[in-house]
A = this chain, B = another copy of it.
Amino acid sequence: MDLSQIETPALLLDLERMERNLERMRARERALGVRLRPHLKTCKSAEVARRIFPSGPGPITVSTLREAEQFLEHGFNDILYAVGIAPGKIDHVAALRRRGAELAIVVDGLQAARAVALRAAQLGDRLAVLIEIDCDGHRAGVRPGDRELLVAIASTLKDAADLRGVMTHAGASYDCRTVEAIRAMAESERTAVLESAAVLRAADHAAPVVSVGSTPTASFAEHLEGVTEMRAGVYVFQDLVMAGLGVCTPQDIALSVLTTVIGHQRDKGWIVTDAGWMAMSRDRGTSAQAIDQGYGLVCDARGRPLEPLVLVSANQEHGVIGRRDGGSDVDVDRFPVGTLLRVLPNHACATAAQHRAYRIVSHDGATIVDTWERFGGW
């Protein structure tokens, strides 16, 4: 099917770019010598998961129990649900475990640990639990090496549940300005969990799992000695935030939104399209980076960037393309009404979430060769 035959906006996926991204992270996995547990919250697609694991289901990370459920149905049973457990979800976790999921959950405080221990005992399921460590002050987690709290959580869990170890996520790596800063953050991710695992082990609590990860830190960590697994999600598609961090280039970004020109504001140098925030999301993750990409970097229909054109503003179903610097000097006649363009996303997770399917584009970018469903919700 020719690109012009699908109704816009539509989410395009370039498999060749995706495969290169997957291979690059596999090389990191080999070089660092730690198992990769990809975060499938980005793709939410069984087809993409199959490409990530060409030789059969491997360990995965998820952000919702719906993801756990969907991927379990496709044979993925080694699952980390990496969001602090809400007590009301424990029964759902146990139900998934009865269906064969080796599903591990996360706690970062005594209240959650007590809720888990209580319900685990009642259900007769020694739930697998990791303690979340806060390596960067970003959101959740126990302070690294907080002996009193770590040991209290471990002791609370001990009789009823199975404490597997510790995990952390350097979400603040997205705010780094240099590769050196990302490297330093990878090292604080590593030391935060190692220090915490050491505290647990010194108190006679086994902590076999030491889990770190984010796409930036997984891409630039110098070594991960002592770490047993790393997690990353957005690397599968990459995006403009990652390009701004130096993790990839815009040419590596496998996702884009196909859009059609519907009008112009000639005096302002604006090209109006049918991809607004409903198609792109409201994510403005590049706004604090050196290059602010607006709501996305504009490319021609084959995916070649049309610098300096970005989506300067977005309403629900309208996108306004203009110069990144706000200048009105744009030759809008190059883009008559009906022209197809692609827009690269700031944040792949957020943009993909606005769509129900991936349209797979051919190698030359001219045709749609397949459609892969993606799921959403909770």
Contact = CB atoms under 8 A, between A and B. Distances in A.
Interface of A: 4, 7-10, 41, 63-65, 83-89, 92, 107-109, 111-112, 115, 134, 139-140, 171, 260-265, 270, 272, 274, 277-279, 281-284, 313, 315-318, 320, 336-338, 349-350, 353-356, 376-378
Nearest to A114: B337
A83 B8 CA distance: 12
A276 B377 CA distance: 13
Contacts of A284: 282
7 contacts: A63-B278, A83-B317, A112-B262, A112-B263, A139-B315, A281-B281, A353-B354
Nearest to A277: B350
Nearest to A377: B356
B377 A112 contact: no
Contact of A349 (B65, B316, B354): B316
Contact of A109 (B88, B263, B315, B318): B263
Contact of A7 (B10, B92, B279, B376): B92
B338 A262 contact: no
A315 B111 contact: no
Given A41-B317, A139-B320, A262 B85 contact: yes
A152 to B, nearest CB: 14
B350 A376 contact: no
B111 A338 contact: yes
Given A7-B89, A282-B283, A63 B262 contact: no
A262 B7 contact: no
Given A4-B88, A87-B338, A139-B272, 14 more contacts: A7-B65, A7-B89, A63-B278, A63-B317, A84-B262, A84-B274, A86-B338, A107-B263, A109-B263, A111-B336, A115-B337, A134-B265, A139-B313, A278-B353
A154 to B, nearest CB: 16
Contact of A263 (B84, B283, B316, B338): B84
A355 B376 CA distance: 8
Contacts of A89: 7, 260
A83 B356 contact: no
Contacts of A111: 263, 336-338
B338 A88 contact: yes
A279 B4 CA distance: 33
Contacts of A263: 84, 107-109, 111-112, 140
Given A87-B338, A115-B337, A9 B378 contact: yes
Given A282-B284, A284-B282, A376-B356, A88 B260 contact: yes
